[in-house]
Structure 1
């Protein structure tokens, strides 16, 4: 075999090698680009699905006056899902209650089907409508009721987290909370509420409650 034939064989081998390297490089680049694109799209979808419950509104709260400033108030909230997916296990929590002047003692109560519940779920009292005896209990519709219980059992009664449940995309659900206010000479209090879902959606609202 002459040198010209050997040169042609070497050239062919080198050409095949270059083509193989180029094809391998393109495959690796394309695979990396595809993974990067999939990751970016996945992250964008994830961020979209974690949009906040950014519409947390409260129904009208009536204005009341109590000589001893000792009462229970039912609060009504509406949580709306403006995200891109359903939200599971949404919960509402009373974060704080503060007085603009002075101090305030408060307990978040769990009331279900007209019964006051301890933290362990057992019955602690009954809401009586119309009002009979006990601490004044104002329903969200303004009806005056009463509730007999021992406020000194704060450790067994205070439960500020309320289960709202599932909120479908584009839908809303109502949630109720119950506050026992035990203080004197109050004119205004601030109630901070927080809502969240297991997907990471959240919202908060500061409510100004006027007593006069």
Structure 2
């Protein structure tokens, strides 16, 4: 009987692996040293600094929005990263685009979902250059307890079919299901620095796990 149960368990595991395949693991999207897998203005805007992807200077106004994008598209995934935003003047803001694409006019803009990051927009879901509206905005009082201003914070994006969830430092800030079937559910990932502010942003520990 024990032998039969053991063989049954092994067979079950084998069939599970055969039917569903091995679980996909998180992979790094940034190697900490190069822009391999990314494209954008790496001459004037984006730089690699102490193992991070950074943009902005403490004494310079950012002239316009700018994005560093992945070279391939993603649909369903769990993305995790750390972000640090500092600023002294103007609109201090950044964010992570996903299921997005680049625009041609102006060429430095993107269109698509954005996991927003900055005062009044911490942990929000914004629709960049399309509906141009915040789709979900968490309670500001609650966010004040969860975030670390001008310090590193963890950001997690879960995009599963038409369902989008955002988490900041382990706390869920957004639960959203897209009802407009014309909205694309795959696209590029982009790191943003927002224009019209003396702003600095840095991203690191960027990983992504693709989902079925």
Give the structure-1-normalised TM-score. 0.38
Larger helix proportion, structure 1 or 2?
1
TM-score normalized by structure 2? 0.38
Q: Which has the higher contact order (CA 8 A, sep 6+)?
A: 2
